[in-house]
Amino acid sequence: MISNPISLMIAVPLIAMVVAFMTKTRSQARIVALIGSLVPLAISLQMFMEFDKTSEIMQFVESYDWVPSLGVKYTVGVDGIGLPLVLLSTIVSILVVVYAWGENTRPNQFFALLLLNEVGVLGVFTALDFFLFYIFWEIVLIPMYFLIGIWGGPRKDYSAIKFFIYTHVASLVMLLSIFALYFTYRTPAGGRTFDMLTLIQATSDSTLFSPMLVNVIFLGLLFGFLVKMPAVPFHTWLPDAHVEAPTAGSVILAALLLKMGGYGLFRVIVPMMPNVSEHYVTLMAIIGVVSILYGAFLALSQKDIKKMVAYSSVSHMGYVLLGAGAFTWLSVQGAMFQQFSHGLITCVLFMSAGTIGHTAGTRIIPELGGLADRMPKFAVLMMMGFLASLGLPGMCGFIAEFTVLTGSYATLPVYTLIVIFGGIVVTAGYHLWAMQKVMFGPILKKYLDLHDPHSYELLSMSILVFLIVYFGVNPAPIMDIMGVAAEQLIEGPVMTLAQMGVV
Amino acid sequence: MIFSDYLSLFGAEALLTGLALLIIVLGLFMKNKNLMGCLSLAGLAVSMYLVMAADQTKGAVFYGTMQIDALSQFFKLVFVTVALIVVIAGLSRYKNHPGQDEFYGLLLLATVGMMVVASSMDLISLFIGFELASLATYALAAFDREKQNLEAAMKYFIFGSVSSALMLFGFSLLYGLTGTTLISGIADAGLADMGPVTLIALLFVIAGFGFKMALVPFHMWAPDTYTGAPTLVTAFLAAGSKKMGFVAAFKVVLIALIALRMEWYMAFAILAAITMTLGNLVAVWQNNVKRILAYSSVAYAGYIAIAFVVVGAAAGQIDGFSIAANGLAGGLLLILAHAFMKTGAFVAAAVVAYMALSDGKDNPDDIEHYAGLGHRAPITAFCMLICLFSLSGIPPTAGFVGKFVLFGSAIDAGLVWLAVLAILNSALSLYYYLRIIKYMYVNEPAGGKISEPKGYVLALVVALVGVLGIGFFPQVFVDLAYRAAEVLLL
């Protein structure tokens, strides 16, 4: 039992970041990074053990006044929506550090930025005050900007600035909606508050929030989250950022940063859905389906395997949106699990693409061939990742997508059928085609002297593959908590922290 | 009223005036003038303490022409802080410089002028403070006596004189209409019924202050002067002297001319919108970092001017008082934040210019010289990084807190279009700040590591502490700003 586990979990990588930045050598930097991400992992596992899995209330809540005259508090806590993502963040963060063990260019800055990133995402997934939430939401941009800008590929300048400004504008639109919530609502005592749960609950009060106002607020928030996810047509920053980012950056971007958008959907958007126009359901369903299909077709047409993986993320995140829009208990639960499972799977995919890039010297699919012959261990791991990504039963991707589609059929049958008949085949197609071309077939002469990548890369990929299979066979530990949270989202109004009796 | 009462209210000004004169006189006799910087530093530190000690006092002196209250103390704090940072950096910049006594003397006199403006409740004393600060800064702008300095100072002087003339003409009309120069007297005189001549007075007053605040279309001098003047003086102009324009405008427009609210409200809305958009758009195309910062300063004038609009729009609404207080407090917070981050950014620019000059490069402020600064001068680069993030409003920094409160208040006042425009501008500004950051951290260094002069480093660290302090612990500063705002509204 640790007191204030969440603050500790955020503070440790923050301190480790400063220390890592000061280090002089690579070995010092990476040790600091390893310790700095191991501690949060331990804390999050401990939290997972102690978490009351049958309860829908916020747990491990801490709340302190920060700027009382503006109604800003430092409030953090987790429930079934946040905890799995916290767990995902700590797992992915440490595995990225392990994968990037051999980083040679400015290692102290590199590992410091990875840690800062962990601070940001953990903050987003635990903050319960909009001011705090926004701060963490924006902090995440800084390390990612530098990761792309310093360690990126040839077009890194353009991609880094595009990423920063595109997502920053979306955050600002979200901020406008937050302001509207903030200024419309007054606490019973007459003050203002940024408390997320209170404000979200208040939107159901139609005397305070006119239908017009609440629809506009909803749209602004939705836009902010959709850009982050990203959903078609706001996805154009993603391929640029992914292709240019270093492998560790891509992994974090896909596995954690995109999840921030999805988290926003469950924390803010879904609870507000009963109060807004029904047309939004159609809008979300259409954007979700288009993202799934368009992302899949774009992936199919890519020559660069990393770009293909990037578009597959757009496609997979579409399921999250579809599941959230369908607004049934099962679909929301599935969408939450899709976030978790995509976070694990996409890591393997991007690590594979990165490893191919730096061992073979190219990521262009038609120029590769037969790598499995010289890289057998790597080929197994990559194959597992790709199969999980196309939704093979027995792995966590299948569970998630199956649940989303089953749950969504109840309320959005047409859209679901379009996905089933249009998307799944294409998804399987591009994965298998890429795998076939890159890994199998006769080995090309120029690749004869390749060999398996470094053991730390294999280690981090195999841990991920193990988790993918484990949660594919036994999703219950994570899915059960999500189920409780999803039920609460669908059935009841949001409870504030005071109503839960936790502050 | 006995002498000691004056001392508790005006101790800081008296100390600085005496010190400035002492420094100028001592400078005539002393060979080694490095002592002057330390004297000014000590004087500023003591006056900062005096200002903060008089934080809760309220009192009027000199027949009601000067008033000490939360507002005046807030602005004095801003001015003294900026002067303090500039003097610290000056310890390195003007070490062993033969004319350094004049630099410090003028700087202190300018600070006193600004502090007088901050306390004035009368048009005449306000004007005198204004001129004292302006005359001292005209000379400072030419201080390094290079060709570009002289051009900058000349431009500044001509535009400054015209703006003083406009302002004075506006004041004379107000005096003629109301028969008093006391700001409270003008407010009580019922200007609203006095016909179109009040509009002319308003126009001239806004134009006169507009020059100092660098609002478009009165901003033309600012980028040239900021680029040409010695960088430390630029820091003082952008972060200090410009704020004097704001405090004067707050007093005259929001107190004396509140009756003409409907007239100036729209004018300020349009000025604010144009100023921030133009400032940011032009900054995008610049390659000279001082010029980029100069245009960003213009853009900031636009943001801060939103405070006027919010106050104008709030009157007559339910909760009007709290909306107006929010807006003004936001404006004040942004002024405080801007003082720290702009001074920091300009001091960092001074370090780079120093570095480029010692490398024998022309054009010392060119963005090319920032390449690899993170490696060449790590402390400077890091402070610049935080200042730039703060300027672009990335949390948790001072700039974020200021923008957050100010733009939020615009929404609260129903000025959604203005808030949206401000926020889009904020995003646009990110582009040119990121460009500098990219040069500093992404590009390969153009030379070896340099030793950063101690004075500059200390100045940068003070600015950094300010920027992050306001960002992490906003409560104290928010309270200060609210108390100051209430003075204007009550």
| Residue B431 placed within a domain | yes
pLDDT band of B432, cuts 50, 70, 90: very high
Among A253-262, B41-50, B290-299, B445-454, the minimum mean pLDDT is found in B445-454
B407 in contact with chain A, both atoms CB, cutoff 8 A: yes
pLDDT band of B209, cuts 50, 70, 90: very high
Which one of A69, A157, A169 has the shortest CB-CB distance to B427? Answer: A169
Q: Do the chains contact at B478 and A180, CB–CB below 8 Å? A: no
B5 in contact with chain A, both atoms CB, cutoff 8 A: no
Tokens (6 digits) for B430 = 């990110």
pLDDT in the model for residue B2: 67
DSSP letter, residue A304: B
Which one of B419, B427, B441 has the shortest CB-CB distance to A146? Answer: B441
Contacts of B389 in chain A (CB under 8 A): 142
- Cα distance between residue A355 and residue A388, in whole Å: 19
Which residue stretches of A127-257 are H helix? 130-139, 141-151, 156-184, 196-202, 211-228, 237-244, 247-252
Torsion angle of C-alpha atoms B369, B374, B375, B377, degrees rounded to 10: 70
| Residue B176 placed within a domain | no
- Cα distance between residue B126 and residue B107, in whole Å: 19
Kindly tell me if the per-residue pLDDT of B172 is higher than 70: yes
pLDDT in tens, chain A (503 residues): 678 999 999 999 999 999 999 999 999 999 999 999 999 999 999 999 999 988 888 999 999 999 998 999 999 999 999 999 999 999 999 999 999 998 888 899 999 999 999 999 999 999 999 999 999 999 999 999 999 999 988 889 899 999 999 999 999 999 999 999 999 998 888 888 999 999 999 998 888 899 999 999 999 999 999 999 999 899 999 999 999 999 999 999 999 999 999 999 999 999 999 989 989 999 999 999 999 999 999 999 999 999 999 999 999 999 999 999 999 999 999 999 999 999 999 999 999 999 999 898 899 999 998 888 889 999 999 999 999 999 999 999 999 999 999 999 999 999 999 998 888 899 999 999 999 999 888 888 888 888 888 999 999 999 999 999 999 999 999 999 999 999 999 987 888 888 888 77
Q: In this structure, which amino acid lies at residue A7?
A: S
- Least Cα distance to A478 among A386, A350, A351, A344 occurs for A344
Contacts of A217 in chain B (CB under 8 A): none
Chain B contacts in chain A segment 359-388 (CB below 8 A): none
Q: How many contacts does A have with B, using Cβ atoms within 8 A? A: 76
- Least Cα distance to A456 among A335, A318, A351, A362 occurs for A351
Contact of A257 with A166, CB cutoff 8 Å: no
pLDDT digits (tens, 9 = 90+) for B88-147: 999 988 888 888 889 999 999 999 999 999 999 999 999 999 999 999 999 999 998 888
* A451: Cα within 13 Å, side-chain hemisphere: 3
Chain B residue with the nearest C-alpha to that of A165: B427
Cβ neighbourhood burial of A393 (10 Å; 0-12, 13-18, 19+):
exposed
Which residues make beta-bridge pairs with A365? none
pLDDT in the model for residue B426: 93
Tokens (6 digits) for A297 = 């077709």
Contacts of A160 in chain B (CB under 8 A): 434, 438, 442
Closest approach of B320 to chain A, Cα-based (Å): 13
Backbone angles phi, psi at A64, to 5 degrees: -135, 150
Residue A343's Cα: distance from chain center in Å? 6
Cα→Cα distances A468→A87, A200, A394, A478, B259, Å: 14, 34, 9, 12, 70
- Find the mean pLDDT for residues B171-189: 91
Kindly tell me if the per-residue pLDDT of B4 is higher than 80: no
A174 in contact with chain B, both atoms CB, cutoff 8 A: no
- Least Cα distance to A444 among A332, A348, A361, A367 occurs for A367
Contact of A370 with A442, CB cutoff 8 Å: yes
Kindly tell me if the per-residue pLDDT of B67 is higher than 70: yes
Q: Give A167-171's long-range contacts (Cβ < 8 A, gap of 24+).
A: A167/A141, A167/A227, A167/A228, A167/A237, A168/A138, A168/A141, A168/B427, A168/B430, A169/A227, A169/B424, A169/B427, A170/A223, A170/A224, A170/A226, A170/A227, A170/A228, A170/A234, A171/A134, A171/A137, A171/A138, A171/A141, A171/A224
Which residues make beta-bridge pairs with A72? A67
pLDDT in the model for residue A153: 86
Average per-residue pLDDT for chain B: 91
Residue B360's Cα: distance from chain center in Å? 32
What's the domain range around B341?
A: 261-490
Tokens (6 digits) for A437 = 């071309």
Which one of A70, A131, A139 has the shortest CB-CB distance to B478? Answer: A70
Q: Do the chains contact at B407 and A179, CB–CB below 8 Å? A: yes
B476 in contact with chain A, both atoms CB, cutoff 8 A: no
Q: Beta strand pairing status for A72-78 and A59-67?
A: antiparallel
B427 in contact with chain A, both atoms CB, cutoff 8 A: yes
Q: Do the chains contact at A182 and B426, CB–CB below 8 Å? A: no
Q: In this structure, which amino acid lies at residue A203?
A: T
A161 in contact with chain B, both atoms CB, cutoff 8 A: yes
Count of CB atoms within 10 A of residue B451's CB? 8
Q: Do the chains contact at A179 and B423, CB–CB below 8 Å? A: no
Q: Containing H/E element for A67?
A: strand A59-67
Contact of B445 with B371, CB cutoff 8 Å: yes
Count of CB atoms within 10 A of residue B38's CB? 12
Which residues make beta-bridge pairs with A73? A65
Closest approach of B81 to chain A, Cα-based (Å): 23
> What b-and-e string marks burial along B41-52, b requiring 16 or more CB atoms within 10 Å of the CB?
bebbebbbebbe
Contacts of B204 (CB under 8 A, 6+ apart): B166, B167, B169, B170, B173
Query: Helix, strand, or coil here: A66?
Result: strand
- Cα distance between residue A234 and residue A228, in whole Å: 8
Contacts of A220 in chain B (CB under 8 A): none
Q: In this structure, which amino acid lies at residue A82?
A: G
Contacts of A41 (CB under 8 A, 6+ apart): A90, A91, A93, A94
Chain B contacts in chain A segment 177-196 (CB below 8 A): 179-180, 182-183
Closest approach of B277 to chain A, Cα-based (Å): 16
B481 in contact with chain A, both atoms CB, cutoff 8 A: no
- Cα distance between residue A490 and residue A311, in whole Å: 30
Tokens (6 digits) for A252 = 């974090």
- Positive or negative: CA dihedral B378, B384, B390, B392: negative
pLDDT in the model for residue A1: 66
Q: Containing H/E element for A350?
A: helix A329-360
Tokens (6 digits) for A47 = 């939290």
A463 in contact with chain B, both atoms CB, cutoff 8 A: no
A50 in contact with chain B, both atoms CB, cutoff 8 A: no
Closest approach of B235 to chain A, Cα-based (Å): 27
Chosen from B280, B321, B388, B394 to mutate, greatest number of chain A CBs within 10 A: B394
pLDDT band of B359, cuts 50, 70, 90: confident
pLDDT in the model for residue B221: 92
pLDDT band of B1, cuts 50, 70, 90: low
Q: How many domains does chain B have?
A: 1
- Cα distance between residue B459 and residue B365, in whole Å: 19
DSSP letter, residue A502: -
Domain spans, chain A? 277-493
Contacts of B408 in chain A (CB under 8 A): 179, 182-183
pLDDT band of B61, cuts 50, 70, 90: confident
- Cα distance between residue A127 and residue A115, in whole Å: 18
- Cα distance between residue B271 and residue A431, in whole Å: 56
Tokens (6 digits) for A108 = 């102290």
Q: Do the chains contact at A183 and B412, CB–CB below 8 Å? A: yes
Chain A contacts in chain B segment 376-405 (CB below 8 A): 389, 394-396, 400, 404-405
Chosen from A65, A130, A174, A183 to mutate, greatest number of chain B CBs within 10 A: A183
Cα→Cα distances B24→A472, B95, B126, B385, Å: 81, 16, 25, 37
Which one of B394, B411, B438 has the shortest CB-CB distance to A176? Answer: B411
B318 in contact with chain A, both atoms CB, cutoff 8 A: no
Which residues make beta-bridge pairs with A121? none
- Cα distance between residue B256 and residue B227, in whole Å: 35
B181 in contact with chain A, both atoms CB, cutoff 8 A: no
Q: Do the chains contact at A149 and B441, CB–CB below 8 Å? A: yes
Q: Do the chains contact at B431 and A169, CB–CB below 8 Å? A: no
- Cα distance between residue B375 and residue B446, in whole Å: 10
Q: Do the chains contact at B478 and A66, CB–CB below 8 Å? A: no
Helix (H) and strand (E) counts in chain A: 23, 2
Residue A195's Cα: distance from chain center in Å? 23
Q: Containing H/E element for A76?
A: strand A72-78
Kindly tell me if the per-residue pLDDT of B457 is higher than 90: yes
- Cα distance between residue A96 and residue A104, in whole Å: 15
Contacts of B431 in chain A (CB under 8 A): 161, 165
Which one of B396, B434, B442 has the shortest CB-CB distance to A135? Answer: B396
- Positive or negative: CA dihedral A279, A285, A291, A293: negative
Tokens (6 digits) for B404 = 């957050």
Chosen from B475, B476, B479 to mutate, greatest number of chain A CBs within 10 A: B475
- Cα distance between residue A238 and residue A284, in whole Å: 20
Closest approach of A444 to chain B, Cα-based (Å): 37
Chain B residue with the nearest C-alpha to that of A105: B442
| Residue B18 placed within a domain | no
- Cα distance between residue A199 and residue B183, in whole Å: 43
